[in-house]
Amino acid sequence: MKSRIILSISILQIIALFAYILPILRQAQATSFSQANANLSNPRLSVLGRIASGADILANTGVANMKSSGEADNDTLNIFPKDTICFNGIAGAGCSPAGATPYMVDSTPTSTSFSFHPTATQKINAGDMIVSTQSGTISINFTPSSTVPSGSYLLITIPANTSGNPSDSMPDVGAFDSAGLTSGNISSYINPGGFSISTASLNTANSKHTILMTLSSALNHGTNYSIVVGGNAPYRFINPAPASSHTTRGTADALTIGLETQNSMSQTFDQTNLKVLLNDGVLVSANVEVTLNWAIGAVNQSDVLSIACKDTSSGDTGNAVGTTNSTSVPFGSLTVYNQFYISAHSHTINTNASNGYTLLVRQDGDLTSGTATISKTNCGSTVCTSTAEQYWTDASTYKGFGYGMRGTQATFTTGYRQFDTTDKPIMSNNSPASGATSYICYKLAIAGTQQAGMYFNKLTYTAVPNF
């Protein structure tokens, strides 16, 4: 009886010893992948800060002031124009998918303030969180050292912050948030390359998001495979906010992603740890100065009629007169009455202004010689004005001085208008222009009773870039 008891204890000891060393044997059998690496399509850190104490954002304002200490982000060095920002209470739900109103950053005038639009429609309180999420796909390439049969498992472990809520769409400090990815939908946002899976699950515990995939095809030793996790937002892991060790901007935070293959008994074939590096964004800025080049060009007498300064479609019988230069319109001696005299200038404009340009003209008054004047034209029985053109074809009845425009960017291209003493547009374009050329046609007719003398006035042109 005594010997039996001793034998039983020995068997139990052996079983216990075997149970103890089996995991060690399994671990010893595991090998590293022949090759493996991980890549983030967007390695930029998310932003997680707070509104500064006493710096409530009131309705109809668009400037936020950040706390300068104690948060993952204490400055605006990782906040850039066109970033999407949300403001959340302490229990906020992030910017996506069910979070607060999104705003767009306009500028960062100081290291702790930024402007945004649209303006706030309700009060945002001091202490509320400032959130800007960054996310992307996670790509892993790997080559197994061991052949893994169908029905086995591929595991990916991604750092999680399980001290808070690791799936609320809020950036987590030093860890990924699973956001819209759940155990129920993870299969839809996994894209295997070179192999296939039947099911996938996502579980979060022990500071890890674990993706467990059941293989429906084998992984062959020495063959390269790939897998991409994540789809369009919000079905992606949200990138971490800076870790507490991220005290210097521009220094990357390194996080570990685990990759492992197992059989149905949880025995490991291959395993490895992969590093991904996340860093602040880099704002590239370059100020392209606005350019506006404009030239007034002479038009030869022989070219005046060829640029359609005559209202030929309405019977205009005007004659061209002397060649202009860039600063004068010499009509010369007027010895024939009840007839049109026509001259012209060209205007050529180049500008890179985002909304193009406008060219304006005004005169200082009517053509004058002493107390005598040549008044502005009425054009015809329907009177033209400084803003409305009419055909001007009868020099016997309608006298005076006026102008017409010809060219693709001219404000009008048929008929004539009166000059005015206030600026009126004669050329424009709503986008940048290169070599835009139009012509202004000067037209004059006098009666035989016009008092003799040297008549003159002054035209002022102004070119304005539009933003």
What would the pLDDT profile of 157-213 be if each residue is shown by its tens digit?
Answer: 999 998 888 998 889 999 999 988 999 999 999 999 999 999 999 999 999 999 999
Q: Which residue has the higher pLDDT, 457 or 336?
A: 457
The CATH number for 31-41+135-278, chosen from 2.60.120, 2.60.40, 1.10.10, 2.160.20, is 2.60.40
Of the given ranges (18-22, 93-97, 343-347), which has the lowest mean pLDDT?
A: 18-22
Measured CA to CA, the distance from residue 57 to residue 140 in angstroms comes to 43
Q: Kindly state the tokens that stand for 77.
A: 């060095």
Relative to beta strand 113-117, strand 268-278 is unpaired
pLDDT reading at 95 higher than 70: no
Distance of alpha carbon 71 from alpha carbon 377, whole angstroms: 73
pLDDT of residue 27: 44
Scanning 130-213, the segments in alpha helix (DSSP H) are none
Q: Comparing 290 with 420, which gets the higher pLDDT?
A: 420
434 alpha carbon, distance to own chain's centre: 25
Nearest CA to 230 among 34, 33, 38?
Answer: 38
Q: What is the pLDDT of the chain when averaged over all its residues?
A: 88
Tokens 């970033």 correspond to 83
Residue listed under structure tokens 């074809």:
393
Q: Is 148 exposed, middle or buried (0-12, 13-18, 19+ CB in 10 A)?
A: buried
Burial class (CB in 10 A: 0-12, 13-18, 19+), 283: exposed
- For residue 193, give both structure tokens: 């390359």
Mean pLDDT of 438-460: 95
Residue with tokens 């933003």: 467
How confident is the model at residue 318, as a pLDDT? 64
Q: What mean pLDDT comes out for the span 435-451? A: 95
The answer to whether residues 51 and 57 touch, using CB atoms and an 8 Å cutoff, is yes
Mean per-residue pLDDT, 58-67 = 92
With tokens 């008092």, the residue in question is 451
Q: Which of 155, 180, 145 is nearest to 30 (CA)?
A: 145
Asked whether the domain spanning 47-132 has the same topology as the one spanning 31-41+135-278, the reply is no
User: DSSP character for 249?
Assistant: T
Summarised one tens digit per residue, pLDDT across range 348-396 is 999 999 999 999 999 999 999 999 999 999 999 999 999 999 999 899 9
Average pLDDT, integer, range 62-73: 94
Domain extents in the chain: 31-41+135-278, 47-132, 292-465
Enter the DSSP assignment of 357: E
Architecture of domain 47-132: Beta Barrel (2.40)
Structure tokens at 405: 């425009």
**Identity of the residue numbered 81:** P
What 3-state class would DSSP assign to 313? helix
The answer, yes or no, to whether residue 71 has pLDDT greater than 50, is yes
Least confidently predicted of 104-108, 304-308, 389-393: 304-308
Mean pLDDT across 433-441: 95
- Length, in residues, of the chain: 467
